[in-house]
Amino acid sequence: MTGRFPFRFRIIHRFIFSILLCVSTACCMDEARAQESDQPAVNRFDLPQLVKRAVAESPEIGEAQSALAASMSSLAAIRAAFYPRIEGTALIGPTERADEPLIVDNRITDPSRGMRLSNIGAFGRLDFTLTQPLYTFGRLSNQQNAARLGADAKQQEIAKTADSLALQVSRLYYALLLAQKGMDATLDADRFFDNAEQRIKSLLQVQSPNVSQSDLYMIEAFRTGILRSRVVAQKGIDTATFALRSIIHLPADVPFEIAPVPLEIEDAASEPLDAAIQQAYARRPEFRQLRDAVEASRYQREAAYSDLYPSFFLAIVGSLAGAPGRDRFDNPYIIDQFNHEYVGVVAGARWEFDFGIKKARISDADAQYRKMRHTQKKAEMNIPIQVAKARDETIEWEKSAQIYQRATTASRKWVVSAFTDFDMGVGTAENLLRAIEKYGENQADYIDALFHYHLAVLDLRYATGSIRETIVD
């Protein structure tokens, strides 16, 4: 018998690390999320259902939607600035009763009785101004375009968050699915050991020279490794299950299981690299968000420059005032502040001057625009690298999974052949256990490669901006 460690199920340990990594990067789990839900209990979830529920329950999505609502309110306020604005002031208060002045000997004489308590009356007055902007040198239009693009960027933020959630949930889904497959692999190997143990015990009862008591000890040693792997696999299943429950806000008392999908190996990286990169540029919400943000920053800079110029407007100005007890004095040269009415149309310009405030704002807006441009260039450089890396990893793990799949099939045939030779008396227990060990190793490597292959496919879909569309639609 060789001195190697029996039946190494390396995949289980890799699962635990991968699952814990998914949990730590996919969501900040909080025990408070295990709260009651108004939705009825659901026993079985497929991947699209998990993604839809995670998006619907996500506080990050809610936060992004609130930010979008705020941006839309700002856009509505700027659009309203194109329409007339009405300002009015209403006053009411006491005033002295007065009679119309008389001219006696070419002198103006006031016939009023003077300031007495009985001579006090009341007056009311309404002043209003309706202002319509005419030309602002692009200030309003630039602010509107900046607000519109800012709202578009917030919309892309929602899509980006949803894509990130789709990737996180998908990683956890496949981690759980492959951990369950790893558990099945340990049960499959354990059945082989049961068969081997029964055969050896039967041969020991008839005192066959082909077996010895030490063969049973070897089986027990191999079985210990499988039992340990089963415990670790169960830990991986529990960890992934808890993470999925947390991210979809599923109460702990609701039964939960995932609907498995065929773990097939397909040519996921068949699209040429250049086409995948162009797809990423066109569909990645991060890139579209950044593009909108750059344009919004440019319009904000233009609006800052517009503040250097005057704003032209048209206005309707009017005033109404009345004071019972005061005589009216209609004279175009003298306006009675307590008894009058007038309305008129005027055109004007408003121009503000300061000592460096506008210049500082322009410098800040220009710096922000240049910063966004550099960020965009950086993204344009990083996206092809990200797509190429995900594509290369997909191809690598696709070939590895195919190789280990063939090796698993071959090693299983070896196990069947070793059992046949052992039953016929031409094979040894050591050869049989070595075949089972190799079958377990190849199966573990196949599951490991399959797990990383599906993660690489998810990363490629995320990099090209098609993660949600390939899962949900």
DSSP string, 448-471: HHHHHHHHHHHHHHHHTT-HHHHH
> What distance in Å separates the CA atoms of residue 367 and residue 7, rounded to the nearest whole number?
62
Task: Determine the residue type at 283.
Answer: R
> What distance in Å separates the CA atoms of residue 214 and residue 3, rounded to the nearest whole number?
14
Instruction: Determine phi and psi for 317, rounding to 5 degrees.
Output: -115, 135
Q: Please name which of 407, 411, 419 lies closest in space to residue 450, comparing C-alpha atoms.
A: 407
- Contact 385/273 with Cβ under 8 angstroms? no
Token pair of 355 as six digits: 């000592």
**How does pLDDT run across 79-103, given as a tens digit for each residue?**
999 999 999 999 998 887 776 666 6
> What distance in Å separates the CA atoms of residue 75 and residue 227, rounded to the nearest whole number?
63
- What was the pLDDT predicted at 149? 93
Q: Are strands 311-322 and 120-135 parallel, antiparallel or unpaired?
A: antiparallel
- Contact 299/145 with Cβ under 8 angstroms? yes
> What distance in Å separates the CA atoms of residue 168 and residue 321, rounded to the nearest whole number?
69
Q: Which domains does the chain have, with CATH numbers?
A: 10-106+119-471 (1.20.1600.10)
- What was the pLDDT predicted at 36? 39
First to last CA, the chain: 54
Write the CB contacts of 373 (distance below 8 Å, at least 6 apart in sequence): 294
Mean pLDDT, the chain, rounded, equals 83
**How does pLDDT run across 280-304, given as a tens digit for each residue?**
998 999 888 999 999 999 999 999 9
> What distance in Å separates the CA atoms of residue 290 and residue 273, rounded to the nearest whole number?
23
**How does pLDDT run across 326-366, given as a tens digit for each residue?**
877 777 777 888 888 889 999 999 988 888 888 999 999 99
pTM: predicted TM-score of the whole model, two decimal places:
0.76
29 vs 16, 32, 243, 446, CA distance in Å?
17, 9, 7, 31
- Contact 150/73 with Cβ under 8 angstroms? no
